Each structure stands twice: as C-alpha cells, then as structure tokens.
Structure 1
Amino acid sequence: MRFRIIILVVVMITCGAIILGCGGEQKTADYNIAVIAKSTGSDFWQNVKRGVNAAAIEYNTNVTFIGPENEEDWSAQNTMIVSAVARGADAIVLSAIDYELTRDAVDAAAAAGVRIITIDSGVDSGNVSAFIGTDNTEAGRLAGKAALELCEDTPAVLGLVNYSESTENVREREDGLRAFAAENGMTVAAVANVESNTESATAGAKKLLSEHPEINVIIGFNEWMTLGVGYAVQDMGLSEEVVAVGFDSNVVSVGMLETGEMDALIVQNPFAIGYLGVKSAVELLGGKDIAAVDNTSIIVVTKENMFEPEVQRILFKFW
C-alpha cells in the first residue's frame, strides 16, 4: 500500500510539472549572447556580471562574460569582438573602452548579422540598437552638486582625477560636472588623466593636491579613481581640508566614507546594467522593439544617509 502511495505521489508531481510547464509562462530563448566588458576585476564589473547571470537564467539563454585585464586595452577588446562573431554570437552586449577605435570591430560584427547593444559606455557606430546604463552627464552634475553642498559657503576649487579621455562615459561625466561647475561659480583648477587602476589614481591625486594647494574638492570618476582619491586624502592627512567625491562603491570606499576620507559617492546600479543588457538582447533577437536608451538609477551616498536601509541595499548589492 505504501509503495502504491509513493508511486501515486510521483505520478501526481510529474503530471503537475508537465501541466505547469505547458500552461505557465516560461521564458525561453536559445540565443548566444557575448557580454564584453571593459575589464572584469572591479566590484563594478563583478556586479554587472551578477546581473548578466541572473538574466541568463531567467531567459534561459547562453551567455559569456569576458573583458580585458585593464580598461585601457581597446585592442584586446576588439579581438574579443571578432572572436565572439567567429564563435557564432547572435548578439554582443558591449561596454566600449574606446569610443572611436572600437567602431570598426562593431561595424564588422553588425555586417556579419550580430546585433549590438552597448552598456555603461557607448561606441561611435550607427549599428548599435540600444544603450543601457547611467545617464553619465547627469551623474557628473550630481557629483558637482554634492561637492557644492559639502563646501557650504566656501568657494569650491576642484581637482579632477579621471581616466581615458577616449571613453565615452568619462567625457560625459566630466562634461556634466564642468557644466554644473560653470553654472554655480565653481572653479576647476587642474585635471589628472591616469590609467584606470588604484596606483595610478593615487599618484595622480597626490600630484594634484601637492601642486595645487588651493584645491579643496577632489573628484574621482570611477571605482579605481575613487580609491586613489581616498588613499591620497588619507596619506596626506587632508580629510578635514579637502572634500572628496567619487564614483561607484566597494567595501574599501564605503569604509572611507564612514571614516571621513571620502565625503560622497555617486553610486550606479551595475546589476541592473548587466541584467537589462541581456534582457534587451533577448527581446531584440526575439523581434521585439526596445528603447534606444534605457538609463539606470544613480544615488548620491554620504555619511548622513549611508546607513539607511535602501542605501545599504544598493551599497551591498542585495538585489
């Protein structure tokens, strides 16, 4: 009797699964999607990858996630685009290192029938179907606004620590900041353009602060630049004299915010960028219309709001 009951239960479960499989809304997409990032080492790109993987599971699609060792190696990234086409990618989701020098590889991929979506940073090509990412001009303005508020009544004199000028989102962030600064009587004293790593950013920030003692605000434009700014302020003992604003977040920069080396972080939503990049690629390949631009969220985090539940969720990636 017990054996019959077990068999009956198994049959009922199997039938139920079949019914649910046939009657429920199951998202399936047998596509090959190559996600090519600027690099893979930072917290930002690891959280983009988490979003990519979540969408791959939800939409039952095949996804690869790769990127060069550093965010300057546009040549390696172009090779990755060529390789993705050769491997039979149906779509490439790309964050372009170089706005112009990546164009030929993208155009060749499109000519081979591959659909192109950009995330985080775009490329100078008419073959891109959509961009998903931060409104970087607005993010730059938010950095300026945060600095202005933190300076209170003191005139703001800015030092900027930025990376490759050939990357689109870099230009847009700095353009947004400069526009806000000009509108609000803020002065940009000097800019250091450095390689996108902590060591170069720290050296660049220290050089700015040493050569331009009038600087009372220093801004870093990505995760590595932010760490460099924070370390420079820390090493030079300037946390009381200099307002430090950065982009993106990780455990170290959040710690710097708590201890005072950083004063504000402009935090993007990398998980959403990765997730929506793959989702949009699946929809595009399935014949759906998708928005040409899909801007993801930005939040300004300071010591005053960093412990709020919603901010904690964003900082520590509990999506």
Structure 2
Amino acid sequence: MRLFKLLVGCAAVVAMCSTALGSALADTFALVNINQQALFFNQINEGAQKAADAAGAKLVIFNANNVPSAQNDAIENYITQKVDGIILVAIDVNGVKPAITAAKAAGIPVIAIDAQIPDGDNVAFIGVDNTKAGEDIGKFYADYVKSEMGGTAKIGIVGALNSFIQNQRLDGFKKAVTDSGQAITFLDTVDGQNVQETALSASENLMTANPDMTTLYATGEPALLGAVSAVTSQGRTGDVKVFGWDLTKQAIQGIDDGWVVAVVQQDPAGEGKAAVEALAKLKKGEKVEPIINIPVTIVTKENVDQYRAMFK
C-alpha cells in the first residue's frame, strides 16, 4: 500500500511538473489592435483568441484606443518582453514601420492584418484588398443608381481620414463610380475619425449642409453606425439610400426597411484566426504566404438572412 501511494505521489509530481513545463514553454503572441469599441475589432480579437487556445498559445491583446503612437509603444514593449510573435492592426501604416523593423531585428515576426504596411518588414499581410473591394461596392452602387434611380444621384461620404485602409476604400469607390458614366455628383466628404459618436455628428452635419443628398457611402463600421443613426434621427430614411462597410444590427434593420441598400461584410474573426495560425507555423519553422487574402461579401436584402445570427 505504501509503495502504491508512493507511486501515485510520484506520478502526481511528474504531472504537475509537466503541466508547469508546458505552460512555461507555451508561445506568447501579442495582438496590437486599434480599439475595442467597434465590433469589427472585437471579432478580430475573438477569432485570434480561439485560434490561440486551439494552438495552446497565450495571447495578449493591446487596445491602442485610436492612438497611433500607442501602437509603436506597445510593439516596443512586446519586443522587450520577448514575445514569440506580434499581430498588428495598424492605424498609421507608415508611422508604425520603425517599430515593425525593430521587431524584425529582434527576431520577432510581425503579421499585419486588415491594413497593409507599404514596404514594411512584416512577414505577411492577412486581410482584404480594400481598394478592389471599394471598387466592387462602387460598381454595385453605380449599377443601383442606373437601375433604381434613373442614373442620377448625389452622394455624401462619411469616412475616417486617419485610416489608410478606409481611404483606400474611398478611392476605389470613387474610381468605380466615376468610370461608370452615371450622372453622380460627389458632395462633401466628412471625417468620422473611426469613432461612432464623431461619425454621427459628422453625418448630421453632412445632411444638414446637403439637403438634396440622395445617397450616402460610409467607409467603416463606426462611420456606418453614425450614418445610419443620423439618417434615422433626421427622418431621411425615405429619401437617402445608404451603402457602406461592416454589418451591425442597426444596418441589418435598415436593409430590412429598404433604405440601407448594400454593406460590404468582411470576416474579421477569420483574419484574427489566420494570423495566429500563421505565427504558429512560423514558430515551427514553416513558411507562410506573404499575402493571405480574406474574401468579402456584399450583403443586400437577398443574402442578409445568413448574417442575422451574428447580431442576436
């Protein structure tokens, strides 16, 4: 009996040691995100966390709260902490490059998601071709104006001028609309700064200054939330058609009611998941593709049902 107890005790000690050793050897990945207000960024976090749990890795998440310099500081701190890899959702794609280069010099791979880093030292980019997707929604918009509005419209823009990728979405949209040959007049572009409350005020000002506006394009989730709220509060749902990016519960209601026409839907959870999986591969010495594209879907009344469960 004493021998049995001794063996059980030894086994328990070995198990405890193995658990502690496994914990000590677990990879640590850092995710430097833009904010935790937008559902989009929270879904990135969720996808990354699930992938980290599946890989037995530790994930730490930093919220920059829309401050570009905070992302640089966070990366420098993670370099000091010797994390095994960094995932970055960049605000200022040029300003953050020195921090990425410093991480590379320290042997820490950086994977950019959502926003590409021009000539950056990140090992890979995971996300959407924002310019092309902007063109796609622009073509959809122009076709809608042609078929449903007699080929004539006046459009206002709610953007986030501090966001490189949202500017890409705007540029692609404008190009496609201009190339369409429809009689579409661009009115003002207002800056929602990627903050819902700011986008709401900007949208209200946009509509007040342009009472003849017939359509509106929002380049991101906070912009679309602000625009939808403004159109509703000002009683313009009957004469302003809305197009934008990133579904929300409010946008789906607008689609059901017929005044939100189309929304570009990304897969943020898929981006976060793919980024963690790529870092895990790199840690094992495997290679990853330098560009991993995540497809988008233009959501309309015809296909919105498949997205309802996300917002219940």
For residues 316 and 272 of structure 1, the distance between their equivalents in structure 2, rounded to whole angstroms, comes to 17
SS at match of 1:97: coil
Q: 1:278 offset after TM fit, Å?
A: 0.6
> Which of 132, 135, 142 is matched with 2:129 structurally?
135
Once the two structures are superposed, the pairs formed by residues 68-147 of structure 1 within 5 Å of their partners are 68-69=64-65, 71=66, 73-147=67-141
Once the two structures are superposed, the pairs formed by residues 154-193 of structure 1 within 5 Å of their partners are 154-165=151-162, 167-185=163-181, 186-193=184-191
The AA in structure 2 aligned to 1:114 is: I
The sequence identity of aligned pairs, in percent, is 27
SS at match of 2:152: coil
> Which of 215, 218, 234 is matched with 2:216 structurally?
218
For residues 259 and 81 of structure 2, the distance between their equivalents in structure 1, rounded to whole angstroms, comes to 46
> Which of 40, 45, 57 is matched with 2:41 structurally?
45
Determine if contact 1:268/1:299 at 8 Å carries over to the other structure.
yes
Residue 279 of structure 1 corresponds to: 277
The AA in structure 1 aligned to 2:157 is: L
Residue 205 of structure 1 corresponds to: 203
Q: 1:285 offset after TM fit, Å?
A: 2.3
Residue 63 of structure 2 corresponds to: 67
Q: 1:213 offset after TM fit, Å?
A: 3.0
TM-score w.r.t. structure 1 length?
A: 0.83
- Say whether 1:58 aligns with 2:54: yes
For residues 235 and 57 of structure 2, the distance between their equivalents in structure 1, rounded to whole angstroms, comes to 51
For residues 141 and 214 of structure 2, the distance between their equivalents in structure 1, rounded to whole angstroms, comes to 10
Determine if contact 2:97/2:120 at 8 Å carries over to the other structure.
no
Determine if contact 1:35/1:93 at 8 Å carries over to the other structure.
yes
Determine if contact 2:154/2:213 at 8 Å carries over to the other structure.
yes
Determine if contact 2:218/2:244 at 8 Å carries over to the other structure.
yes
Q: How many correspondences in the alignment?
A: 283
Residue 21 of structure 2 corresponds to: none
Alpha carbons of 1:224 and 1:40: their partners in 2 closer, same or farther (altered >3 Å)? same
For residues 255 and 288 of structure 1, the distance between their equivalents in structure 2, rounded to whole angstroms, comes to 45
The AA in structure 1 aligned to 2:169 is: R
Q: 1:316 offset after TM fit, Å?
A: 4.4
Range moving further from structure 2, 86-95 or 248-257: 248-257
TM-score w.r.t. structure 2 length?
A: 0.84
SS at match of 1:128: coil
Structure 1 residues 279-307: Cα deviation after superposition (integer angstroms, max 9, x where no partner): 11111222222111111121111223312
